[in-house]
Amino acid sequence: MSTEVLERRFARIGARLKVEERPWMGEPRIDVRHDRRGEYFELRFEGGEREVDVEVVDARRDDRHLLLLVRDGEEKSKFLCGHDERHWFVAAIPEAARGVSGVTAAMRALQPDRVRAAVARKRPADPFSRRNDAYRRQGEWFFVPEPGLVVQDWLVLRDEAISRGNGTPHVLEFVYRRGGETVYVSRRYPNGLSQAEFDGLSEKARRQADWSVLVRDADVFASGAVRHPDHATIVLCGWHRVVMNTEQGARAMRHVAFLD
């Protein structure tokens, strides 16, 4: 697909795209940037000698979403590009998701199993809205009601941050965690180090970094306000299970520079 055609497809959903002229060589990098006119998508290519092909396979003007396909030799990567509340975003679609040929299938592929099960039970009119009978959503985080959960007050934490490892964390007013692994997080290690990995660092490294002690892979439940500077605050009435979308399972995540 030519540069001009790509730009027209992005314009169809109200977005600007900046991409270099062909040939496109090397790994693609998809970013959301800002200039005096506002946000725009930037598609660039880094290194490599193999030509890459890029195509918009579906564009939905009303939803302001499109599905982008990148072919790099035998490897195919798909990205949902769109507008969510206040900003443009890019989300990588897991390669394990089959039959993702349009925007609707891509949105479904980004929903984790627990969310899809809740959607199947509740059958909301719009299964992809930010708020329906099955869940609430803020950015990449879903909050699924757990009406039967009873939590003792002394186990409740306040103003806890949740993060996928990069970007600005979302802050939960009330949190209850069950299980999981204690990890040490810093700017150098945003995904966290286990206790054994942290103990294996030199004493100098343990002292120099600005470490935070968090819990990874726990069952997390939230109630009250959920805040993030890029999203409208939502309020959860009662306990909700916190689950992240599926993009972390995509190899294509390495091509995405901006996600929130």
What would the pLDDT profile of 223-239 be if each residue is shown by its tens digit? 999 999 989 999 999 99
- The one-letter amino acid code at 146 reads E
Q: Average pLDDT in the 52-61 region?
A: 91
Whole-number pLDDT of residue 260: 33
Q: Taking 90 as the threshold, does the pLDDT of residue 104 lie above it?
A: yes
Q: Taking 60 as the threshold, does the pLDDT of residue 198 lie above it?
A: yes
Whole-number pLDDT of residue 259: 36
Round the average pLDDT of the chain to a whole number and report it: 88
Whole-number pLDDT of residue 93: 92
DSSP readout, the chain? --HHHHHHHHHHTT--EEEPPSP-EEEEEEEEEEETTEEEEEEEEEEEEEE-EEEEEEEETTTTEEEEEEEETTEEEEEEEEEETTEEEEEEPPTT-----SHHHHHHHTS-HHHHHHHHHH--S-TTSSBSSS-EEETTEEEEE-TT----GGG-EEEEEE-SSSSPPEEEEEEEEES-EEEEE-SS-TT-B-HHHHHTS-HHHHHHS--EEEEES-EEEEEEEEEETTEEEEEEEEEEEEEE-GGGG-GGGGGBS---
Q: Average pLDDT in the 99-127 region?
A: 94
pLDDT one-digit tens code per residue, 2-11? 888 899 999 9
Confidence grade of residue 181 (pLDDT, cut at 50, 70, 90): confident
Whole-number pLDDT of residue 174: 97
More confident residue, 180 or 175: 175
> In residues, how long is the chain?
260
Whole-number pLDDT of residue 165: 61
CA 53 from centroid of its chain's CA atoms = 24
More confident residue, 106 or 209: 106
Q: Give the other-Cβ count within 10 Å of 45's Cβ.
A: 20
More confident residue, 158 or 162: 158
Q: Taking 90 as the threshold, does the pLDDT of residue 108 lie above it?
A: yes
Whole-number pLDDT of residue 74: 75
Q: Taking 90 as the threshold, does the pLDDT of residue 109 lie above it?
A: yes
CA distance 232 to 248: 23
Whole-number pLDDT of residue 97: 86
pLDDT one-digit tens code per residue, 238-256? 999 999 999 887 776 766 6
Percent of the chain predicted with pLDDT > 70 = 95
Q: Average pLDDT in the 164-175 region?
A: 84
Starting at the earlier edge strand, list the strands of the sheet with 141-145: 136-138, 141-145, 231-244, 219-228, 170-178, 157-162
Confidence grade of residue 257 (pLDDT, cut at 50, 70, 90): low
